């Protein structure tokens, strides 16, 4: 079996509002169809889809939980990038849950929740190999 994650789908309250939020962070959908926005994110596709439709499709009751226990991470090449993305997220209406700061592992990171409560970490981790396309290769030499 090949280890892979092809799609990460976020259930959102209002698609247009969610798309505007991600546009404020500099993200552009690669494709839109049937009330769904698809963003190419290196080897993974981030999908925005109506939360109720996602819950129904997955056969899961949408009980309004405020924490799913999942955090999405966006690794960047510098501390300045962490600061910039955190500022952009805040300006677009995100709740910053962890201000940019040094981490226990020698990196620099921040956390925020998007407009639908999805948790994101933005991190500069000098211990991970960051490829030119922005993907992380945990087996590569750090840059």
What tens digit of pLDDT does each residue of 119-136 get?
999 999 988 888 888 888
**Using one digit for the tens of pLDDT, what is the confidence trace for 57-78?**
888 888 877 778 788 989 999 9
pLDDT, mean over the chain: 90
pLDDT of residue 141: 67
pLDDT at residue 98 in the model: 94
Average pLDDT value for residue range 97-118: 94
CATH 3.40.50.920 is held by the domain 7-57+70-137: no
Mean pLDDT of 30-44: 92
Band (pLDDT 50/70/90 cuts) for residue 54 is: very high
DSSP state letters, 23-48? HHTT---SEEETTEEEEEETTEEEEE
Q: Is the pLDDT of residue 2 over 80?
A: no
Query: In 3-state terms, the chain is what percent helix, strand and coil (to 5)?
Result: 20, 35, 45
Tell me which of 43-57, 65-79, 103-117 is least confident: 65-79
Average pLDDT over residues 137-141: 72
C-beta of residue 135 within 8 angstroms of C-beta of residue 86: no
- Look at the block and give the residue holding tokens 């056969």: 59
Q: What is the pTM of this model?
A: 0.83
């Amino acid at each position: 079996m090949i280890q892979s994650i092809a799609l990460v789908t976020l259930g959102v309250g209002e698609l247009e509002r969610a798309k505007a939020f991600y546009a404020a962070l500099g993200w552009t959908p690669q494709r839109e169809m049937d009330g769904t926005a698809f963003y190419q994110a290196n080897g993974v596709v981030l999908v925005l889809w109506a939360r109720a439709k996602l819950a129904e499709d997955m056969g899961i009751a949408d009980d309004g939980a405020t924490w799913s226990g999942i955090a999405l991470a966006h690794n960047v090449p510098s501390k300045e990038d962490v600061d910039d993305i955190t500022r952009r997220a805040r300006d677009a209406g995100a709740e910053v849950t962890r201000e940019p700061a040094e981490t226990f592992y020698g990196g620099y990171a921040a956390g925020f929740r998007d407009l639908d409560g999805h948790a994101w970490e933005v991190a500069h981790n000098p211990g991970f190999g960051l490829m030119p396309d922005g993907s992380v290769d945990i087996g590569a030499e750090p840059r």
